Chain A
């Protein structure tokens, strides 16, 4: 039996589940926000094995997303306490649930989501990486800016989303403005990644599933809005090939991070060199399959069923 750990808003999971339904492949979808009304038990009565949906051993588990339940408690402190307890239950569940294989193990996923750690591992694998600095030292940022001829970008260390009541804002990758460097002393240097800006030919998203590589590229330079960050508009991706050596490095990176899946963002510069930007251990991919016909979902199903 396959277990899919996710939430109800995960449409990428829907995409795979629709195929599982059509192929009559048995599975259980566990929406984490429904944990309070999902059958679970653990204890001496079943030799300390976690039972979810009345099942103690799953052939494979696809770990996608988590979400805490909606708790109807008006006291905020008590609500937070209960939510923390549910969070702990999920963490424990991920640790003790029995399976032959994960796509990917949550512990490895959470560790690999740290961007500085990713850069460290990518550097060990000799990926080309844009010159990078993460610091709260104003002099170092200023030097870095002029070292790269006023051509550096700033991007979040982890979160790109700011939620306000009734609206959201995003922080994408942006070129640092000279006025901000000139007036740097007026700003607080909170955590952020600064990198040299690489002039791009195009950008790639390389999706690796159990050692198989699916490469897609996007012409982000054809649109002024997407030249710095392709996520600002909906651009069409197309299938592409990448050098064998790069392919091997992508597979090694995913393996070294302990993952079975990874969505890697890469830049190809105008000299034909490839630069590693980041890896998303649980990145989205359905839109790439829509655009390119790359059979990522089939590979995921193959991994989960064989």
Chain B
């Protein structure tokens, strides 16, 4: 008999994070952007600050800038949007995917990754 709970499984909307743009730095003890050596996490923060500024502006939802930055944060954005982004945006996008991975792990928050 099929377990009932399996009737409720679903594929993630988010594509799996492409970690090819980052590498672990033994010097800084954290993941950094390949080439620049900047902490990957800072890039996410910068993207978020941009969003916050856009959010504070009394503009409507049609505002191009706001829309674009929102889409960078939107972890559910599909692959087609990824292909339309510029290289630097793609970096941001991928990093947001990284955070999406974190978000996904909220569904899997147990401490032990191997259990």
Residues on A lying within 8 angstroms of B by beta carbon are 7-9, 11-15, 17-18, 21, 27, 29, 63-68, 83, 87, 106, 109-110, 113, 154, 156, 158-162, 167-172, 174, 177, 180, 184, 186-190, 192, 231-234, 236, 263, 280-284, 286-287, 290-291
Contact = CB atoms under 8 A, between A and B. Distances in A.
A112 B109 CA distance: 12
Closest 10 CB pairs of A and B: A160-B107, A234-B75, A187-B4, A14-B30, A188-B1, A190-B3, A29-B29, A280-B109, A169-B9, A174-B8
B74 interface: yes
Given A158-B110, A231-B104, 19 more contacts: A9-B101, A11-B98, A14-B30, A14-B40, A87-B114, A156-B5, A160-B108, A161-B108, A169-B12, A170-B9, A170-B104, A188-B4, A192-B5, A231-B103, A234-B76, A263-B109, A280-B109, A284-B102, A284-B109
A290 B44 contact: yes
16 contacts: A7-B113, A11-B31, A17-B29, A18-B39, A21-B29, A21-B30, A110-B111, A154-B5, A159-B110, A168-B16, A170-B9, A188-B4, A282-B111, A286-B41, A287-B102, A290-B45
Interface in B84-115: 98-114
Contacts of A168: 11-12, 16
B53 interface: no
B10 A170 contact: yes
Contacts of B24: 8
A4 to B, nearest CB: 8
A300 to B, nearest CB: 14
B8, B30, B102, B107 — most chain A CB neighbours (10 Å):
B8
A65 B113 contact: yes
Contacts of B9: 162, 169-171
A219 B34 CA distance: 36
B7 interface: yes
Determine which residue in A29, A87, A160, A234 has the highest number of CB atoms from chain B within 10 A of its CB, and name it.
A234
B48 A172 contact: no
B113 to A, nearest CB: 5
A64 B111 contact: yes
Contacts of A187: 1-4, 7
Name the interface size band of chain B.
Answer: 35 or more
- Interface of A, helix, strand, loop or mixed by DSSP: mixed
B10 A172 contact: yes
Contacts of A234: 73-76, 100, 103
Interface of B: 1-13, 16, 24, 28-31, 39-42, 44-45, 48, 73-76, 98-114
B29 A170 contact: no
B10 to A, nearest CB: 6
A284 B105 contact: yes
**Most chain A CB neighbours (cut-off 10 Å) among B7, B40, B109:** B109
Given A21-B29, A172-B107, A231-B107, A286 B5 contact: no
For A13, A17, A18, A283, the residue with the greatest tally of chain B CB atoms inside 10 Å of its CB is: A18
A144 to B, nearest CB: 13
A141 to B, nearest CB: 9
A12 B45 CA distance: 12
Contacts of A281: 111
A158 B16 CA distance: 22
B112 to A, nearest CB: 5
Nearest to A158: B110
A284 B108 contact: no
A67 B41 CA distance: 21
A67 B10 contact: no
A21 B25 CA distance: 13
